[in-house]
Amino acid sequence: MPSRRYRLVVFDWDGTLVDSTAAIVHAIRASAADLGLPVPSREQASHVIGLGLLDAIHRAVPSIAREQMPLYVQRYRYHYLKEDAALEAFQGVPALLDELAGAGAWLAVATGKSRAGLNRALDQMGWTGRFLTTRCADEGIPKPDPWMLRDICEELGLEAAEALMIGDTTHDLGMARAAGSDAVAVTYGAHPREELVREPALAVVDSVAELRDVLLGWIR
């Protein structure tokens, strides 16, 4: 357990707050099939979740040609949006956010989603206004670059050490390490435990209930 307390808790979105991993993996794979490109495995598709969309596509489907990118993005959005309205927060997440806010924590989001996508998701979840601030991949440099975390801390007048990053991918943990923030990894999202433990984390938890147990003792 860390001796310090954290003022700010920054959450990743997909696979951390919202159960969207399967929908993203399907959209990545179906889009490749639509274009006649090699279809990545589910493991390959899930590994790129959290990156900016263009970087994710290049890594998941490395043989894609430049001229195919616009159509791939179009097909990805088509497949993802078919599932988007049905996506839900992981069980226990809304209550956890309420408890953290009630304990005095500042809450933020750093996500690989686009601004339009996050705003739509916040509205669908009824979470508009729940977070002090949010950052998206298309607003700056995507994960694992530290830009999102550093920009959030700068806006809120905090040091990176006062922020705790919560994420389900090595991209989230790498961003936190580069920014100088501590992190907690969750294993119920996109990356398996054996990948997550390659990056430093204060804890690696298997459920929202376990996440709650570790977080509430670290808020000041």
Q: Please state whether beta strands 182-186 and 106-111 pair in parallel, antiparallel, or not at all (unpaired).
A: unpaired
Contact of 13 with 107, CB cutoff 8 Å: no
- The active-site residue, picked from 12, 168, 172, 182, is 12
Q: Give the helix, strand, coil percentages of the chain, each rounded to 5.
A: 50, 15, 35
- The active-site residue, picked from 14, 168, 172, 182, is 14
Q: How far apart are CA 206 and CA 217, in angstroms?
A: 18
19 is known as an active-site residue: no
Q: How far apart are CA 14 and CA 23, in angstroms?
A: 10
Contact of 79 with 57, CB cutoff 8 Å: no
Contact of 184 with 192, CB cutoff 8 Å: no
DSSP for 64-84? --GGGHHHHHHHHHHHHHHHH
Q: How far apart are CA 19 and CA 208, in angstroms?
A: 12
Contact of 151 with 175, CB cutoff 8 Å: no
Q: How far is CA 115 from the centre of its chain?
A: 13
12 is known as an active-site residue: yes
What CA dihedral angle connects 88, 200, 212 and 53, to 10 degrees?
-10
Catalytic residue numbers read: 12, 14
